[in-house]
Structure 1
Amino acid sequence: MADTNHTVVYFSEQVVVLCSCGLSFVGSTLIILTYIMWPDLRTTPRKLLVFLSVSDWLSAVSYAFGVWRVFHTDSLDCVVQGAVSTFANTSSFFWTVAIAVYLYVFIVRSNQRAADSLVLFFHLISWGVPLIITVAAVCLKKIGYDASEVSVGWCWVRIQAPDRVLWMLLTGKIWEFLAYLTLPVLYILIKRHIHIAHAALSEYRPILANRPAYQSFSSMADVKLTLIPIIFIILRIWSTVRFILLLAGSPVRQHPVLVTLHGIGNTSQGAANCIMFVLFTQPVRTRLCRSLCCCCSKCRANSAHRPLQGQDLSTQRDGDSSSRAQADR
């Protein structure tokens, strides 16, 4: 393969993307832990968010391994890493759309039973379809070294495969394009329904003392509904741009800035979800701060008691030694 068909991954790009993987790993873990720690926050949307975080967690780990190694051949660990990242990344697309569909049915259609009945269907699609595609790609030897042409060091679809464009579409890009179209439409419909409902109730809603707090909560929810599709598109668009440039045969796809943005975007979904649904969610943020404060206070209390306990033991030993001396006398 010619050198022109190989994108060089610089050390600075590795460091930046590895940091992004680390943040996404921590963010996904934090979402999962908060769901486990507080049972009263275990709503169905947050449960779906946990499943999305599992996919993002796998993506962060597999991408970090790929960026750290920067593969150059179709080795066994390259195929394994490419298979895991392909499955996790595709599953993340499905779970992201599944959350939007659930919220649309629950809020716009006002049918919680129908929304809850879709959860099993979400599992079958969001885990099953990526698994089938990944197994088929591995069995047909389509996963392997891709020369970082549409990646940043990690393995994906083999660049030497004659039908690589088809498999790039099947193992991610077609689902990415569908998410670009589906997410904005669903969240716009949800926002429109909420605004219409608020306008209809505003004439009859009494002026209460806690109305500013309600307005703050409503505005924060409105901001989240706006940011979810925007952040998804901003993070994922760079990989799409490089894919289109690859199809066009443009060398711009190898530009370091574009490669870095691609690496950050593909590995930051877990961190972005943590910021929106943990740090920017007041009940979760409040409990998390309380837990951290309690842990810090316990650590300080333990560190304060340890010297005292040491002094007590030394005092007790001195007393024992003096009593033995008196007995010998």
Structure 2
Amino acid sequence: MSNSDSRTKYAYTTIMNAQENNAHQAPEVIGQDYPEAVVPHQQHLQQQHYQQYQQHQQYQQYQQYPSKPEDAQHPPPPGSGPYSAYSGSQLDPTSPRPQNATIGGPAQAPSDGGKKKKGAICGCSTLVFVLCVIIALLSAAVIGLAAGTGVEASRANTADERVAQLSSSLAAATATATGDAPSASSTSFARLDRNCSADPSAVTGTTYDAFSLFGNWSFTIQCNKDAKGGPLIALFAPDFDTCMDHCASYNQYIPNLFGSNDTNTTCGGISFIPLWTPKAEALKGSAPGNCYLKPTQTGDLDTPNIGTECHAAVLNT
């Protein structure tokens, strides 16, 4: 036997004797995890097993706090890991380990704060967004209706004002026309008969020159008289002067149509009744006009007997 083997055997024998002595002299039982004095190759095997045990404990702690939700919901099937003499599974020292897990600490759940909520529009839920749109549409409709009502009311007020103005103008025009036309009971027609009805003596014998475009015709006025003969034509004239103009016009144009030898082609005088100037009054008296053209006059004129004023004018020859 060599010297090295002798020394090894001697050391082993010494250690075993020391352990036996300690076992008899110790006051209490020493735990199994207390380190033993072993030979170098046994000590190396114990250290290797202890490291594997520590790695297994760390792996179990990591398994209690999964870093991903899917790891917690779907644990690895039994038997998928390597076998270990300590817990039925083995974690090889060279096996890869997750670097983001903290041993012994709780695992952090993934945050979904950055994810956009489903069914959201402009940061609001779909129901809130739809209600906002409906309220906006109703508000716009109410504003449009109010504006349209205001415009129509303004137009109606303007139309009412125009109707009132037209009514006032019509009333004024009617009053003016009524004032110009004499009433049936009036005995004063100064504006129509050259004041013959009011002052016949002052007007009788005066002359009137007809409108120059009808020719050089003049007439002598006879108040409260009626020209002789039947009428050549009955007309409406606004006043005594216009009635004499009608007679002059007749003399200007009729002879050219029928010849100058016909006695009915010459208007020799007129009879004017101021009461019948308004057609309503003429209708009441069954009169076809207020101006009557008469043939040539000879001798004295007749005195009227019609129940109202009648004035005559004779053509000067």
- TM above 0.5, yes or no, is no
Bigger radius of gyration: 2
TM-score (norm 1): 0.16
Q: Which structure has more helix as a fraction of its residues?
A: 1
